[in-house]
Amino acid sequence: MDHPPQFAHRHEVPLEADSVDSPIIYYGEPMTAIHFITEDGRWGRITFERLDSLRVSRGENEPFPPATDDADGFHWVSTISNSAWLRERYEYEKRHYGSAHNFGGNVDEMPEEYFHYVFSFRDQFVLEVGAELDSSSASSWFLTCRVRNGTGKSYLRGYFGNAVETYAGIPSLAEIRAHIDQWLSEVRERRQKMGKS
């Protein structure tokens, strides 16, 4: 059976990966992530929810042609329509695991909810907020950004990972500052009660 043509649909994202440095890929628990250097020399991170599979290839040419309505040219993040790989993964999971997919989940969610991403270097972005206490720092707040169906949203998450605020696009530090300041005030108050300055 012939497979319909596959096309790359470009995504505008708020960070640009450096065109020379290779990414560092961490595969495992608690999350799978791609860490990379940005064009301005900072670190960026792409994290995945319910990642099914990952593959890395070398080459100078893009593996999929751009969609016909993509007039903007190259972007370093794209999703693939009519993905043969996503279909292959779905058929494998259905054949071997059926209703036991993801420990009792619905395998038919794969073609409906999973995406085939391509990240071009030379498959949420993070701004990490930490506190320095007693000359050591600890990360306590994370701003994760996601683009789904062309719409970007950011989620401010606390220490336990729960989203306490949702923003359209990427908020400024001033917009998230109230949550951070309140948390710092609570930490200060607890430390004072414990006899620490």
In a domain, 114, yes or no: yes
The answer to whether position 77 is within a domain reads yes
Examine the domain organization and report whether 32 and 55 are in the same domain: yes
Residue type, 26: Y
Are 56 and 24 members of one domain? Answer: yes
Q: What is the pTM of this model?
A: 0.58
Q: Is residue 58 part of a domain?
A: yes
Asked whether residue 140 falls in the same domain as residue 96, the answer is no
The secondary structure element, H or E, covering residue 117 is strand 117-119
Supply the mean pLDDT for the chain.
78
The length of the chain, given as a count of residues? 197
DSSP, res 160? T
Give the Cα separation of 185 and 183 in Å (integer).
5
pLDDT tens, 124-177? 333 655 555 565 555 677 777 776 666 778 888 877 667 888 888 778 878 888
Q: Using the structure block, give the residue that is written with the tokens 């993070």.
A: 126
**pLDDT tens column, 59-89:** 777 888 888 877 666 678 888 899 999 999 8
- Looking at the structure of the chain, the number of domains it has is 2
Domain housing 139: 125-193
